[in-house]
Amino acid sequence: MRARSLVFDLFGDYLRYRGGAVRLRGLVALLSCFDVPEATTRVAVARLRKEGWLATERQGRETVYSLTDTAWRMLDEGRERIFGRAAGPWDGQWHMVIYQVPETNRAAREQLRKKLAWLGFGPLSPAVWLSPHDRGGQVPAAFVDDPTIKIDVFQSRSAGAEADRDIAARAWDLPELDREYAELLDVYRPKLPSYRAGALQGTAALVERMTLVHDYRHFPFRDPDLPHELLPAGWHGRTAHEVFLEAHSVLRGPAEACVDALLDAAVPAPATV
């Protein structure tokens, strides 16, 4: 796990509930649990500040770091995708985004495709992306400042259930995604009994919980969260999500206790007269 990813994950899962700010020495202590040297931590936070993700404040001789509003929005969007799942029956509507981007603006086209994938859209053709969820309105809003990008949003129905399943199979590599879900289950489902029994405490619990998030986090940005009727038989994704949620919840207590202890130890002692 990279130092910058660890910083974001620590803010998202722990520091947001502890005032949303942390001393540099606290970050150094937390990242040391993952064998990140102090020098690497200092370089990582300096770069994150330069890139506009972190803000700093001086408190005496201490530097205190907090996320910027932009960083919090990114984390909140990511958290919603990781922990949330669409509820209720599907209405049968496909939400389509059709775009035009000049060939000379390849960077904008790549950015647009990443945004579409982030929102759960899949490519039916290079410039036609679709989703079973009503998220199309978020796409034009993200590129309103670039007049070279033309985006149209439509709603449409197919010829029926068989056509819907064919569309889903063409827009996403569901067999490969299902295989990777099964591999994740092979790793974490056997560990649930030990998690429930409290076998992991202290640093071990913190590292295990952060590793769990790291291993799971890429799935929601590749998984369109398809309605049940569009999924292949024996789909492992829903079970993997349930295992992830339980493991994340069960490990919460000991992991948070570890964070509290490390942050308390990093508080400088009061000056003596």
Residue 271: the pLDDT is: 47
List the chain pLDDT tens, one digit each, 273 residues: 789 899 999 998 999 888 889 999 999 999 999 999 999 999 999 999 999 999 988 887 788 899 999 998 888 888 888 888 877 788 899 999 999 888 888 888 888 888 888 888 999 998 999 999 988 888 887 788 888 888 888 888 988 889 999 999 999 999 999 999 999 999 999 999 999 999 999 999 999 999 999 999 888 888 999 998 899 889 999 999 999 999 999 999 999 999 999 998 876 655 444
> Greatest CA separation found in the chain?
81
3-state secondary structure 220-271: CCCCCCCCHHHCCCCCCHHHHHHHHHHHHHHCHHHHHHHHHHHHHHCCCCCC
Residue 195: the pLDDT is: 97
Assigned token pair, 254 = 């000991």
All structural domains of the chain: 3-73 (1.10.10.10), 94-156 (3.30.70.240), 173-261 (no CATH)
Compute the distance between CA of residue 231 and CA of residue 169 in angstroms, rounded to an integer.
Answer: 9
Residue 119: the pLDDT is: 85
Q: Please tell me whether residue 185 adopts helix, strand or coil conformation.
A: helix
Compute the distance between CA of residue 239 and CA of residue 215 in angstroms, rounded to an integer.
Answer: 15
Closest CA to 226 of 98, 86, 83: 86
Q: Please tell me whether residue 95 adopts helix, strand or coil conformation.
A: strand
Assigned token pair, 65 = 């770091």
Residue 53: the pLDDT is: 93
Q: Return the DSSP state at 272.
A: P
Residue 268: the pLDDT is: 63
